[in-house]
Each structure stands twice: as C-alpha cells, then as structure tokens.
Structure 1
Amino acid sequence: MRTFSIITALLLPLGAQAQDRAPILMDATETHILPRFAQLADATETLATTAQADCAPDSEDLRTAYRAAFDSWISASHLRFGPTETDDRAFAMAFWPDTKGFTPKTLSRHIATEDAAVGSPEAYAETSIAGRGFLALERMLYDPAMAEQGSAAYRCALIRAIATDIDRNAEAMNTDWQTYAPNLTQPGDDSLYRSGDEAMQELFRALTTGLEFTADTRLGRPLGTFERPRPNRAEARRSGRSLRHVELSLIALRDLAARLSFDHPQIAADLDVAFARAIDRAQALDDPAFAGVDTPQGHIRVEALQQSINDIREIASTELGPTLGISAGFNSLDGD
C-alpha cells in the first residue's frame, strides 16, 4: 500500500501535490456560490410578490419577474450539491427533462379537481414535483392550452401557488447555504469534506456536470439526430428561453472555471479562450428555442455550439483535473 501511494504521488502532476486549497475554496464559496443563491432568493421574492399583484398569464410585469427569477436559477443550477439537492429542491425548481409529459398532466389534474393545496404553501410543497417550479409556471404563463382549462380564478390561484412555492424553495436554499458554506471553506474532521481535496473535487464536479448537462441535454435533446431533429424537446421552448439557458450556464461555468484554475495561468487561459468561443457562438445564434435544428444549416450551427462546449469539457478533464489532482467522479445526473 505504501509503495502504491508513493507511485501515485510520483505520477501526479507536480502542481497536484500538496496544493493549498484554502484560498480557492474561500473565493469560490464567497464570491461564486453564496451571491448566486442570495440573488435567486431576491428574484423569486419579486416573482411571488408580482404574482400576488397580477396573476394574468399575459401580464408583462409577471413575465418579466418570471424571466429574471429563471435567469437567477439557471445561473446557480450547476451547483447541484449540498442544500441545492436537499429534499429534491433542484428538481422542484426545474423538473426537466420531462420525458413522460408529467408537468401538463399534473397541472391539468390540479385544475380539473380544483386541488385545495393551492391555498396552503405547505400543502403545495407536498404535491408532485412535476407541478412545481419554473417549467410548471412556464406552462401556466405561455401555453395557450392551459388557459382553456378550468376557471380563471383557479388558474390564478395555481399561478400564485407555484410562484410562492418557487420562492419558498429558493429562500430555503439560500438560508441553508449560509450554514453549509463552512463545510467547503473549512474542510476537516468537523466538516462534510475531510480535506481540501474533497471540497475541491465537489466544485470541479459541479463544473464538469454543468458542462455535461448543457452539451448533452440542453443541446443534445433538441438536436436529436441529423435525420430526426427534436426541436420540441428544447428546454423552456414555450417562453423562448432555450438558447438563453445555454448562454447563462456557460457564463456561470466560465466564472467557476476561472476560480478553480486561478493558480494555473496557462490552463486558465486555455479555458477562457474555449469559453469565449462557445459563448460567442451562442450569442451569434439567432434561434432562441432551437426551432432551427429542423433545417440542415440550423442543425449544423447548434452542433458547432455543442462541439465548442465539448472542447471546454476536454480541457477540464485532461488539463485542469489532472493538474488539480482530482477527477469528476460521480455526479448528480448519474442514474437519473
């Protein structure tokens, strides 16, 4: 065992040995993680308040608050560990992909039965995850089919219940992250992370899993195959947010990658160039819901964006990970 440990140490890149993780862990926690959940809680509070004042699906004030809150969630959603995963909070914020169409079925059931759970935040939090979160609210605000079901009064109550539930969920995450943060910044015997290496691996896994989800799911699902594209599988397509989610995710992940690679300037530069290329391609793509994948040229352009993200993944796995002495390991998407 001792011989194996010595060999392992010799095989690791020099920079991976005895690195001081503390400055990076503190920086990532204090300036990347905590501000995102604080901003999310502020944005969802505005959403819930706005829904109480005006629950009309076509209300521009409500839709503006919805877009801002959803933006904040996407910018934090790669941090799928700790308080974000408690009680399936991440899925309750955005139940997607919904491969079986559970969200419209759940909402229709609420409306058809006039489920009384909408009158109690505690009761609504115990209902199906498929009827909660931003994708459920998107259906209520942007899907004409929902506007034809049930009474206007009940649909209003349902919109308000979903918005309130989103806010309560975001506030719970924000509160719990304040107490969870020392686990990352002070790893050791009294922490969930026994060492700085374990804490660093958690952050590296958030980076790689975020890239994987954006490339393989946010882009991969609507891309389908060249012969059979699937534009209707795009995330949040009804509100025209599919491409925006890719861009927001890349911007957030670029920030995290810069912090993790801070002590390794060449790798940091490689990552930044790759992220810049991917973000530029996303911003140049005039296809908000990926409807263009139905055409050969549109499909190729989205594939090029996907490849740009895969290029980032390659740098992270072959340069950053080994230099830090860590690997992605298990991620929260495994087995889903």
Structure 2
Amino acid sequence: MSPQICWRTVLLSTTAAMVVGFSAPVAQADIPDEAYQPILSHLLSNVIPPKLDAFHDANAALSDTIGDFCAEPDAGGLEKTQGAFHYAMDIWQEIQPWRMGPLVANGRDQHIEYWPDKHGTATRQFRKLMFDKPAAYTDPAKLSDASAALQGFPALEEVLFDDERAGQLISADEDGIYLCQYGQAIASNLQTLSGELRDEWPDFAQAMSTAGPDSMDYPTAKFAATDLYRALHEGLLIISSQKLGRPLGEDEKDAKASRAESETSRRSLRNIEHNLIGLFALYDGKWGDIGEEGKGLAALIDSSLLDRSFRLNWQTVQDELSELPSSVGELLEQPDGYAKLLDFAGQIDFLTTLVENDVGGNTQLGGGFNSLDGD
C-alpha cells in the first residue's frame, strides 16, 4: 500500500449513528506519552497479526472445502463446508470490532461482511443474480468489483444455509451448479481480501506504534492509543444498537429475528460471543494463547481493585451469553426469550458504561470525538 495513505482517515468507520456522552476523566496526573507506546506495540504488532494469519488460513480452508464439495456434492460435504464457514466467521467476528486501518480501508470490512443491510439490498440483488446467472460472478476477480452486498460472508451464508438452496446444491441442478460456482468465487475473494488485510497490517501497525511529532498520522502515542479505546467502546455500542437493538425493535411486538446479524446460519448471538473475545483482548492484551495478560489498555489502570472488578463484570456477561442459544431467532422462540434478550442488552449497556467511566477515565483516553455521534 502506498505510504502516502493517511491511515487516520480510514480508522473506525461505522454505519451506526448514536449520540454518546463520555464521562469526565478521573482527576489524576497526566499519563506520560511514553506509557502508551508499549501498549500500542503489544496490541498492534504482537496480538493482532497472528489472528490475521489465522483468518487468512481459515478463508483458504473454506475456499478449498467448498471446491471439494462442488466437485462431489452430497449432504456430508455441505455440512463440512458449513463448518468451515462457521470457523472463518468466528475469527472474523473477533477481528471485526477493531475497525481500524486496513480493516476499513477502501470499505474492506463491508466487502467481507455487508451488514447491517437496512434496506434489503442484498436480498434484491441476490434474487436478480439467481434470475440472470451472470457468468462474471463466478469469477473471483470480477466478483471483487461487484456490489459489496454480493460479496462476503452474508452472500455465502445465503448460498450455504438457506434450506431450499441447500437442496439445489446437493442435487446439482442448474441453479445448484451456479450457486456452487458463485459460492466458490465468494470464498476465493474472501481469501484474497484476508490476504490483503494481513499484508497491509504491518505498515499500519508501524505507523501507529511510532507515533510522534514526525508522524503525519499520529502526533503523540496517546493520540494513537485513543483509537484502541474507541474500538473497545464503539464495539460495545455496535453490539447494543445494531446487533441487539435492531432485532429487539421498539417492543416485544416489534421484535424481529430476521433483523439480526447472520440469522440465516442461526449464529447471531454466537457472533456477539466472538465479538466480546476480540474486544476484551484490547483491554487485557491476551487473546487466547496469543499475547500477555495485562499488557493491553489494562496496563494503564492504576487500581488493582478496579481492574479486578472490570474483569469480573466482563466475565459475568460472557457467562450469561453462554447460557443463551446461538441465535436471536432461537431465543425469541422461548416463552421468556424477549425478556432474556432485553436483559442481555442491558448487561452490554452496563459494560459500555464501565468502559466509559472506568477505562476511559483512568486511561485518559475517553474524552473527545466519538465517531458514532455523526460529527
């Protein structure tokens, strides 16, 4: 990628709109700028790159798996392909909330996952696609120039998980053959996108990690670290306003599972489970077996009591989520499902308040511009 690109202009883009007021920072001495530097280096250069490698590998495996299935379609092959989809999607949902640099450059996040689709664009375009069956959309290179709504995980989800289309795929009728070729093109394009993301990340990480007066993007390390805090804060806001708020609607009568993310594959709440894993890595500095505990934003928290409290509250929310089914649709089918979903949304909002007050205040990163407020 050209060194002339200003990474600042592609940070934390989002489709949400919400007004949020930050709490006033806790009164304390200014944190020296050099204290932010090791956090930037650890998160950007040590923690995220192995996840980007894993994401690319998962998409490569998905591409190979769907290719094998299309060569010899049967129910077992479709189930294996669906499993490869879920594995790649799990990793994407952990990476998704970071929303910075190469993740959002040139709309890459939308090409990987076009969502939310408030106006049903993907449904309309997919219906036309299946009517016309253009050969160009079975070519990964040509597909990459198509509408984002016809690329990425939601489009592949429609191919692999819709009951009617599953039958067509296995029977390999005219529609099934086209669907398989189209699905292969989507998976191959995802492999390309994830490879570009992986390859472009080091330059971006270097730009943030070497923040200082000579940088055109980041005049101070604190200025750069603010974007890590925003990723944590806004990631929770997106869960609340979009991933939960949209299906919840105005009230129980207005609730609609189809407005949830990845509902066709019945994994809308599973997505949030993985979002929380990736978001907590920003705070903690450890992501599964990658990184080191306490080297994320938590390194700036000077109260062990506050740190323990934050971790306990976060774990409580994760434990609550583990007791829920994998999708909003399954939950809403339960007699008390709406109440449970509303309660869980309240818990996410509580976590958001903790991030604003405790993390934002104690790291001195919580004030100022919020990209979700529409300014």
- Answer yes or no: is the 8 Å Cα contact 1:267–1:320 preserved in 2: no
- Answer yes or no: is the 8 Å Cα contact 1:95–1:130 preserved in 2: yes
1:316 to 350, 355, 368: 355
TM-score by length of structure 1 reads 0.90
* C-alpha distance in structure 1 between counterparts of 2:371 and 2:129, whole Å: 30
Measured after TM superposition, the shift of residue 125 of structure 1 is: 0.4
The 10-residue stretch of structure 1 (231-240 or 262-271) with the greater mean CA deviation from structure 2: 262-271
TM-score by length of structure 2 reads 0.81
The 10-residue stretch of structure 1 (231-240 or 83-92) with the greater mean CA deviation from structure 2: 231-240
Measured after TM superposition, the shift of residue 330 of structure 1 is: 4.8
Where does residue 292 of structure 2 map in the other structure?
none
Measured after TM superposition, the shift of residue 283 of structure 1 is: 0.3
2:57 maps to amino acid: D
* C-alpha distance in structure 2 between counterparts of 1:332 and 1:115, whole Å: 38
**Once the two structures are superposed, what CA deviation does each residue of 1:243-268 show, in whole Å capped at 9, x if it has no partner?**
11111111221221221122313332
**Once the two structures are superposed, what CA deviation does each residue of 1:304-333 show, in whole Å capped at 9, x if it has no partner?**
211111111111111211222222655565
Unaligned runs of 5+ in 1: 1-10
* C-alpha distance in structure 2 between counterparts of 1:43 and 1:332, whole Å: 31
1:239 maps to amino acid: S
**Once the two structures are superposed, what CA deviation does each residue of 1:117-167 show, in whole Å capped at 9, x if it has no partner?**
234322110000001110110000111344569522211110101111111
Higher relative contact order (CA 8 A, sep 6+): 2
Superposition pairs of residues 10-21 of structure 1, within 5 angstroms:
13-19=27-33, 20-21=35-36
1:178 to 186, 193, 202: 202
Measured after TM superposition, the shift of residue 187 of structure 1 is: 0.9
- Answer yes or no: is the 8 Å Cα contact 1:41–1:167 preserved in 2: yes
The 10-residue stretch of structure 1 (29-38 or 211-220) with the greater mean CA deviation from structure 2: 29-38
Where does residue 305 of structure 2 map in the other structure?
266
1:206 maps to amino acid: A
* C-alpha distance in structure 2 between counterparts of 1:76 and 1:267, whole Å: 26
**1:207 and 2:226 aligned:** no
* C-alpha distance in structure 1 between counterparts of 2:60 and 2:221, whole Å: 35
Where does residue 16 of structure 2 map in the other structure?
none
Where does residue 344 of structure 2 map in the other structure?
305
Unaligned runs of 5+ in 2: 1-24, 285-295
Q: CA separation of 1:137/1:36 partners in 2, compared to 1, >3 Å: closer, same or farther? A: same
Where does residue 234 of structure 1 map in the other structure?
260
CA RMSD of aligned residues (A): 2.3
- Answer yes or no: is the 8 Å Cα contact 1:187–1:193 preserved in 2: yes
Q: CA separation of 1:150/1:192 partners in 2, compared to 1, >3 Å: closer, same or farther? A: farther
2:321 maps to amino acid: A
Superposition pairs of residues 1-336 of structure 1, within 5 angstroms:
13-19=27-33, 20-55=35-70, 56=73, 58=75, 59-146=78-165, 151-188=175-212, 189-190=214-215, 192-224=217-249, 225-258=251-284, 259-264=296-301, 265-286=304-325, 288-293=327-332, 297-327=336-366, 329-330=368-369
- Answer yes or no: is the 8 Å Cα contact 1:215–1:310 preserved in 2: yes
* C-alpha distance in structure 2 between counterparts of 1:155 and 1:270, whole Å: 50
2:328 maps to amino acid: A
Q: Look up the SS of the partner of 2:51 in the other structure.
A: helix
**Once the two structures are superposed, what CA deviation does each residue of 1:27-78 show, in whole Å capped at 9, x if it has no partner?**
1113332222111111111111112221359512211111110111001001
**Once the two structures are superposed, what CA deviation does each residue of 1:160-183 show, in whole Å capped at 9, x if it has no partner?**
011111111111111100221101
1:169 maps to amino acid: L
Q: CA separation of 1:302/1:75 partners in 2, compared to 1, >3 Å: closer, same or farther? A: same
Q: Look up the SS of the partner of 1:239 in the other structure.
A: coil
1:262 maps to amino acid: A
* C-alpha distance in structure 1 between counterparts of 2:353 and 2:374, whole Å: 22
* C-alpha distance in structure 2 between counterparts of 1:34 and 1:26, whole Å: 11
1:211 maps to amino acid: L
- Answer yes or no: is the 8 Å Cα contact 1:262–1:268 preserved in 2: no
1:173 maps to amino acid: L
**Once the two structures are superposed, what CA deviation does each residue of 1:2-41 show, in whole Å capped at 9, x if it has no partner?**
xxxxxxxxx8632543241111111111333222211111
Q: Look up the SS of the partner of 1:187 in the other structure.
A: coil
- Answer yes or no: is the 8 Å Cα contact 1:138–1:239 preserved in 2: yes
**Once the two structures are superposed, what CA deviation does each residue of 1:67-113 show, in whole Å capped at 9, x if it has no partner?**
11011100100111110111111011111111222212222222222
- Answer yes or no: is the 8 Å Cα contact 1:223–1:293 preserved in 2: no
Q: Look up the SS of the partner of 2:336 in the other structure.
A: helix
Q: CA separation of 1:17/1:301 partners in 2, compared to 1, >3 Å: closer, same or farther? A: same
- Answer yes or no: is the 8 Å Cα contact 2:98–2:279 preserved in 1: no
Q: Look up the SS of the partner of 2:98 in the other structure.
A: coil
1:231 maps to amino acid: A
More helix by share: 1
